[in-house]
Amino acid sequence: HRAFSGRDLRKTYVTGATEVHALRGVDFDIRKGEILVLLGPSGSGKSTWLNIVGGLDRPTAGTLHYADTELTALNERELTRFRRAQIGFIFQFYNLIPSLTAEENVRLVTDIAENPMEPEEALARVGLAERRHHFPAQLSGGEQQRVAVARAIAKQPGVLLCDEPTGALDSQTGVRVLETLEAANRELETTLLIITHNAGIAAMADRVFHFLDGQIARIESNSSKIKPA
């Protein structure tokens, strides 16, 4: 079952008289339920690729499909609807609203989603049912990021896009965040697309895309990954 396929995707940023070729023609297929990690030096095009795949930005050229939908043929309204229905975002910094409790932060998403789970269930899935009435400032960094994961999975998206999800955490709290992502992949069949420098995350990937200078220079399959039964 296919999640995404991209053909000859290109992105050129034009700033004044300068052109930056952030993506120089990339091709890929991603299976539904796959865990994919994006590695590569700063400026190699990973964030540009993630934003395009997540419907936050558009390529300059090329075609992109999600299942049977050609995303590159959608208008703005249709693309926004796709993003709201199918994509959950997790960033390095948790972007929680400080004046709302954990549960209220999750409810912001579930109130407008088409097929949400209960906020309490989402928080239970990340191990924070007991802390649902806490405010962000009363939670550790790792717990705040797990609230962000709960918020992202609560609308039951097909795909989670994660940009350095453990970048602000020490390795132990980072592992707990990763466990919540892996559980979403296993129990909800969520496709995970993750930008990271963390070798532990790369080890849990089904495949690693190595970006270099606006291209996917190498695709590595992790055949030794142990899939839970």
Closest of 160, 180, 181, 178 to residue 169, by C-alpha: 178
Select from 88-96, 99-107, 136-144, 170-178 the region that touches ligand ADP (CB under 6 A): 88-96
Q: Strand 18-31 vs strand 2-15: parallel, antiparallel, or unpaired?
A: antiparallel
Query: CB 18 → ligand ADP: shortest distance, Å?
Result: 8
Whole-number Å distance between alpha carbons of 95 and 116? 20
Binds ligand ADP by CB under 6 A, chosen from 13, 78, 138, 217? 13
Alpha helices in the chain (DSSP H): 46-53, 76-86, 102-110, 119-125, 141-154, 171-188, 199-204
Q: Which two tokens stand for residue 119?
A: 């906020």
Binds ligand ADP by CB under 6 A, chosen from 9, 36, 37, 45? 45
> For 180, left (φ over 0), alpha (ψ -120 to 50), or beta?
alpha
Decide: is 155 part of the binding site for ligand ADP (CB under 6 A).
no
Decide: is 48 part of the binding site for ligand ADP (CB under 6 A).
yes
Residue with tokens 């993506």: 23
Select from 44-52, 128-136, 142-150, 179-187 the region that touches ligand ADP (CB under 6 A): 44-52
Per DSSP, 117 falls in state: P
> Per-residue x/- marks for ligand ADP, 160-199, CB under 6 A?
----------------------------------------
Binds ligand ADP by CB under 6 A, chosen from 8, 20, 212, 217? 20
Decide: is 42 part of the binding site for ligand ADP (CB under 6 A).
yes
Q: Within 13 A of 159's CA, how many CA atoms are on the CB side?
A: 24
Query: CB 172 → ligand ADP: shortest distance, Å?
Result: 26
Q: Which residues contact ligand ADP (rule: CB under 6 A)? A: 13, 15, 20, 22, 40, 42-48, 56, 80, 83-84, 89, 91, 95, 211
